Amino acid sequence: MGRLHVEVEKCQLNKHGEELCGDSVEVEAGPDSTIVVLSDGLGSGVKANILSSLTVRMAVTMLKGGLKLEEVVDTFVHTLPVCEKRQLAYSTFSILQIFNDGNVYLAEYDSPPAFIGRGSHLRTVPRSERIMDERVIREAFFSVGDGDWIVLASDGVLHAGIGGIWNIGWGWDRVGDYISSTAARTMLASELAEEIAEVTGKLYAYKPGDDATVVAVRVRHPRYLTMLVGPPVNPEDDREVVDKLLGAPGKKVACGGTTGNIVARILERPMTVDLTPHDKRIPPIGKLEGIDLVTEGMLTLSYTLEKLESGMKLRDAAMKRDGASLLASLLLEADCLHIIVGRAINPAHQSPDVPRSLALKHKIVDGLAQVLRSMGKTVKVEYY
């Protein structure tokens, strides 16, 4: 079965006219578990932002250090600044800890109940109540597996559309229905979080009456991708790297014409080039049975990096057919990536006609690894 991949993505809308969001989110991916904390601070603006950011930071730091929830709550009570107007030190929280084996601990204090589901179905997960420092904390222990999702939302999401489209706002049940149907037709946590935030914004007519935060968590068996970039310095290693590519689980990509030719030669299969024009800046792709995608090398890679760095979404990439968008799409879908970089120097890239930046294969690969890691993916880069 192996370990599960936990993907966490958040989306926030600030209350109309506020520069700071009064909700805070902190995610900590540790070796055994992933901790997610969402907090909604009292009021809005700076004050709420300070309260909620202190809350999430303290919670993550203490839980990571192995402290019990009682101690965390006790610390909140005794250290959070007290609001002068309301004489309260108050911020809500939802704490989610997902262990690598799929066991989950959830603690909620005055926040909307988390949405927990599998596929297109919302699950009913019973909570038990515990009193800590005169506060009622709702707790749940449950387990998740491949295809499960959990969405934490601040009350700003539930209230969306209040007094406008909906008399009493979007509401937990309707939000739950929307999340279930969205989860069923999307793959990534980022897609789920963004779509919920998008509808929230629309319901508020783009002038949110409250800070609204969505944190989407998706659990699945990791999706693997192995990508060969460039031929090895030593041609004797050709077979070894191709064997690594072919023997790897998941999707397989060859980047670079010569690289594609090497794979085709070892596979003893013909490679064809698809000349259908899609984007005139991006070279055509190759077709090779057994390999999910064959592209040209450095131009395609640098456009792919450009697309990912500018925040290209999976749904946008999936609609385009050019080499860089196809590659971006596969990279966005993968959770665990292995990039095998061949360091052979292409004499053509040393010519003055070729922009200098293109010759810097390592720089582009490093850039890709960095942007993919920032999305929570595991990236291993190996050189030959």
Nearer to another protein, 22 or 260 (CB): 260
Instruction: Give how many residues touch another protein by CB under 8 A.
Output: 28
Q: Does 283 bind another protein (CB under 8 A)?
A: yes
Of 197 and 293, CB closest to another protein: 293
| 348: contact with another protein by CB under 8 A | yes
- Where b means 16+ CB within 10 Å and e means fewer, 226-241 reads bbbbbbbeeeeebeeb
Shortest distance (Å) from residue 274 CB to another protein = 7
Q: How far is CA 117 from the centre of its chain?
A: 18
Write the DSSP assignment of 17-29 as a string of letters. Answer: T-SS-SEEEEEEE
Report d(CA 74, CA 87) in Å as an integer.
Answer: 18
- Judged by CB under 8 A, does residue 360 bind another protein? no
**What is the rounded distance in angstroms from the CA atom of residue 232 to the CA atom of residue 227?**
13
User: Is residue 272 a contact residue for another protein (CB under 8 A)?
Assistant: yes
C-beta of residue 226 within 8 angstroms of C-beta of residue 245: yes
| Choices 7-15, 19-27, 114-122, 273-281; region in contact with another protein by CB under 8 A | 273-281
Of 43 and 297, nearer to another protein (C-beta) is 297
- Start-to-end CA span in the chain (Å): 31
Does 227 sit near another protein (CB under 8 A)?
A: no
Binding another protein (rule: CB under 8 A), the pick from 61, 75, 100, 261 is 261
CB nearer to another protein: give 54 or 254: 254
If one asks whether residue 354 binds another protein (CB under 8 A), the answer comes out as yes
- Shortest approach of another protein to residue 283 CB, angstroms? 4
Q: List the interface residues with another protein, window 285-304 (CB under 8 A).
A: 286, 294, 296-299
Counting Cα atoms < 13 Å in the Cβ hemisphere of 212 gives: 27
The stretch near another protein (CB under 8 A) out of 87-95, 130-138, 215-223, 351-359 is 351-359
Contact mark string toward another protein, 298..337, x via CB under 8 A: xx--------------------------------------
**What are the tokens at 365?**
């690969």
- 129 touches another protein (CB under 8 A): no
Helices 298-309 and 323-333: crossing angle in degrees, nearest 10, is 60
SS3 91: strand
* Nearer residue to another protein within complex by CB, 150 or 294: 294
Residue 343 makes contact with another protein by CB under 8 A: no
HSE-CB at 383 with a 13 A cutoff on CA atoms is 7
Residue 164 CA to residue 29 CA, distance in Å, equals 39
For residues 195-209, one letter each, b for 16 or more C-beta atoms within 10 angstroms of the residue's C-beta and e for the rest, the string is bbbebbbebbeeebb
- Does position 257 bind another protein by CB under 8 A? yes
Number of residues written out for the chain: 384
Long-range pairs of 164-170 with CB within 8 A, sequence gap ≥ 24: 164/203, 164/204, 164/205, 165/203, 166/203, 170/199, 170/200, 170/203
Closer of 209 and 232 to another protein (Cβ):
232
β-partners of residue 25 are: 38
Q: Which is nearer to another protein, 62 or 358 (CB)?
A: 358
| Cα of 348 vs its chain's centroid, Å | 37
Is 232 near another protein (CB under 8 A)?
no
CB of 268 to another protein, least distance (A): 17
Nearer to another protein, 124 or 351 (CB): 351
SS3 content of the chain, % helix, strand, coil (to 5): 35, 30, 35
Taking the complex as a whole, how short is the minimal distance between the CB of residue 345 and another protein, in angstroms?
A: 11
Among residues 171, 228, 180, 231, the alpha carbon closest in space to that of 200 is found at 171
Q: Which of 76, 170, 346, 372 binds another protein (CB under 8 A)?
A: 346
367 binds another protein (CB under 8 A): no
Report the nearest approach of another protein to the CB of residue 351 (Å).
6
Q: Does 284 bind another protein (CB under 8 A)?
A: yes
Binding stretches for another protein (CB under 8 A): 256-258, 260-261, 271-275, 277, 280, 283-284, 286, 294, 296-299, 346-349, 351, 353-354, 358
